[in-house]
Structure formats: structure tokens, C-alpha cells
A = this chain, B = another copy of it.
Amino acid sequence: MDPAALRDLVRGELAARVGEGVVTIDPDVVAAHSSDEALFCPDDGAVALVRARTVADVQATMRFASRHGVPVVPQGARTGLSGGANAVPGCLLLSVASMTQVLGLDPGERTVTVEPGIINADLKDVVAEHGLSYPPDPGSVAISSIGGNVATNAGGLCCVKYGVTRDYVRALQVVLADGSLTTIGATTAKGVSGLDLRSLFVGSEGTLGIIVGITLRLVPLLPPPLTAVATFADERAGAATVSAFMASGAQPSMLESLDRTSLAILNAYGDFGLDTHAGAMLLMQSDGGGSRDAAMTEIGAFTRQAEAQGALDVAFSDDAADNEALVAARRLAQPSFEHYAHSHGGGQLLDDVCVPRQQLPSFYERLGTIRDASGLTIATVAHAGDGNLHPSVFFSTADPDEVARAHRAFDEIMALGLELGGTITGEHGVGHLKREWLARELDEGNRGIHRAVKTALDPLGILNPGKMFAHL
């Protein structure tokens, strides 16, 4: 539809059907809401922003969109890294960021029901008051919303022991393309009544419906962990330690790695006192399932594996403040990378491949070759215990040759992930950034199911078009 005509319809018909002040066509406001945290993804062309305050607002918006065939881009906190929340030409931006209520907390059943806009860390605080934990902790835990976490099936640092967002979703309330509201899943501990549509919507990136209510499973407060830090001369030795440690039956509650370049960038950013002579650092936590003895045993096993791989140093601490400082430094990796990029040409392409853990040493070796061929700086942090790697390629956005080399390296990293038996995205999702690569990862039968399901649920193709499905 012609943007001017759509603008008129929005101001008239849509504005009359949603709450006061819910819709705006102010170009500055719309532009300010047109993108998430991904770089190099288009974000032009949004016509209006709907700031839904109620489920009824979302339903009215989808009914309007269906009636007129208008594309809708669902948004939460817009902290995604794949452009999934970016505007597409002629779209309505449909934000649920203002829907932040806790609708119900049931300590007996260990569940909480929330609106999608609540921030992950805020939810953690709410449930902690009842002696409960909501474990999933993406790097964006302080700024990302639960709705976005569910829509992308967000991961994080604790996944290696406690699983990803999907593992905690019991039931969803979803507004479908035609504006109808449905409940899927069961709030009970078990349930097999019909297809598992709940998991179909978890990670669907706004392409199948708008998630407006979420019932999450909670667990008793996680026990406090012990933390060990090991440094190595090179990435390969760190990676080999991870492979051997995990193969030995270890169950760390966190197992992160940072390479030499990451350590240098982080130290320059925040003076964390990290050992910048090291070629790699592993950060491991064990909570021993609540047993300090079990945690100490696991720390011991980690130390032996690290030493067997020639670790430069292995240290451990049970000082909560020390541990939090280390984890906080790890969580600042992405901000430090953004800061580094800002002063080094502006460009960062952040990748997110996941490989079998036994392939980690090979991955780092082959990544070195990609880095050398690109002539660019590449820094890699990893949720190593899961085999989930985040190489960042830095480049000057003003230099077309560097831009080309950066994109080539970014693609080569995904190709390497697939070659080693892995996937192009472990936790960031497809969005706009990886839509071409999704088509390479999935076989024809799988692409066919994707197309069939998408057409069945969104026959007009108005839900987040141009994302995920564009090349399937």
C-alpha cells in the first residue's frame, strides 16, 4: 500500500481501535524504533509505531493489518543481534515493550505468568523474592525482554547446565495473523495434548504470531558456584581443555572462553586486570548441584584437564565478589567490542555458530586461517561448554575492500561451522542477517516444511516478512 494512504488509515481506522496514544506516525519516533542491535541490516520504510499496552491493542493491530495486507514487525526491547526487529518497507512496528506486568506467580507450582515486555533481569528479581530462579541468562539479560527471549529462544551463559529459554516455556498466549487470540501449551509440569505448538512459536522470531503472554517454569534458587580461571598460551589448548573436560562427564554451570584479542579489547575497555599475555582464558563455574564438595571435585577435574593441556595458570575462588567481577567482565565483552569498533573504523560483524564440542580445537585452528586470509582483527568469545562461538570481525566501514573482506570472513565462519557438523546460529537467530545462510543449512524437505507451516499460519505473509523465511 502507498505509505501516505496507509498513514491515513492508521490515523483514522487503527487509532480509533486501540488505546489513546498507542499509535504514532511521527517520523522521528518511528525511525528511532526501526532497528535492533544488529549491524548491516536494512531498517527503512516503517510507516507507524504501535505501542501496545494490552492484548486488545495487539489484536486490533493484527486485525487491521490482515484487513489491509499490511506487514507487521513485532518488537520487544530491540536488543536482538540479527535484525529480526528491524523495519521493512511499508510496515507497522508493533511494540509490546510496554506490556511488562507479572500476571501471576505460583510458588507451589513453580511457575510465573508474565506479559512479554518484562526485562529478563527484572523477572529474575521478582521470582528470587519467592526463593525461585529463572535461569536463562543471555548476554543481554539486563536489557532484553522475555518476549524477545522467547521469540528467539535465547541462550546465554548458564545453558551449558540449565538449558535455553525453550526449556522453561510452559504455555504461551499468542495473537495470530488474523487477530485471534489463542493459548498453546499447558501450565502443568507435563502435557501431550496435541502437537507441541509451544515449541513451534519459541524461536519463531515474530514470523508466526505475536506472543502476548508467557507462562514460565521456575526452579529453586540456583546454588552459589565456585569459579575457576585458566589461561593458556593459545586458543587451541583452551579449546582442547573444554573438549576433554566436557567429554569426562563434567557438568559446569558456566564454561566460557575468551581469546587473546578479546582479552586485550576488554582490558583496554575496563582495566579488568585480565592476563593479556595469555592466548586464551577459560572461565568455569561449578555449583556442584548445591554440594560444595562436588563443586570442589569438579574444579579439581577442570584444573587437571587444563594442566594436561599446558595451562599457564589455573586459579579458583569461592569469593562471591571476585566471581561476580569476573563474570561481569565477561558480560562486558560485547559492549567493549562495540567501543573498540567505534574507534577502529566502525564495523563489527558478530557471528554465532555452534559446533560439536569435540570440534572446538579444529574450529580455532581454521579460524586462524580465516583471520590471516582476511587481514582483519577477529575476536572470539564463546559459550565454550556448548560449542557456541561468537567471533567478531572488525573492519572499517569506509573501506569497501575491508567491508568485502569482513563479509567474506563472516561467511567463511558460518561455512566452517556447517562443515564441522554445526549450525549457523546457536542463539542469536536468523532475522535478516542470516536468512540466506539458513537456506544453506536446511535440506529441501526441511525448507518445504518451513514454507508450508509459514503459509498455513500467515497466509497473507504479513508477519515479519523478509526475515528468516526470505530465501527458503
Contact = CB atoms under 8 A, between A and B. Distances in A.
Nearest to A243: B108
Contact of A387 (B189, B388, B455): B189
Nearest to A159: B190
A142 to B, nearest CB: 21
Contacts of A192: 152-153, 155, 203, 423, 425-430
Given A294-B291, A444-B182, A450-B195, A247 B357 contact: no
A446 interface: yes
Given A192-B428, A421-B188, A183 B443 contact: yes
Given A446-B184, A453-B453, A453-B456, A106 B356 contact: yes
Q: How many copies does the complex hold?
A: 2
A65 interface: no
A372 interface: no
A109 B187 contact: no
A220 to B, nearest CB: 4
Interface string A431-444: 00010001001111
A261 interface: no
A414 to B, nearest CB: 10
Contacts of A153: 192, 196
Contacts of A195: 200, 203-204, 208, 450, 453
Interface in A383-400: 383, 385-388
Contacts of A107: 247
A430 B354 contact: no
Contacts of A184: 446, 449
Interface in A150-180: 152-153, 155, 159-160, 164, 166-167, 174, 176, 180
A441 B185 CA distance: 11
Given A180-B444, A182-B446, A199-B200, A387 B188 contact: yes
Contacts of A453: 195, 197, 200, 453, 456-457
Interface string A373-413: 00000000001011110000000000000000000000000
Contacts of A160: 189
B166 A196 contact: yes
User: Which of A176, A247, A428, A449 gathers the greatest number of chain B CB atoms within 10 Å?
Assistant: A449
Contact of A197 (B247, B450, B457): B450
A356 B190 contact: no
A180 B443 CA distance: 11
Contact of A425 (B110, B152, B193): B193
Given A356-B187, A358-B106, A193 B291 contact: no
Contacts of A152: 192
A139 interface: no
Contacts of A354: 186, 188-191
A192 to B, nearest CB: 5
A107 B250 CA distance: 12
Residue of A176, A196, A293 with most partner-chain B CB within 10 A: A196
A12 interface: no
A193 B152 CA distance: 10
Contacts of A385: 189
13 contacts: A109-B356, A152-B192, A153-B196, A189-B386, A190-B427, A191-B423, A191-B425, A193-B430, A193-B442, A195-B450, A288-B291, A289-B290, A290-B291
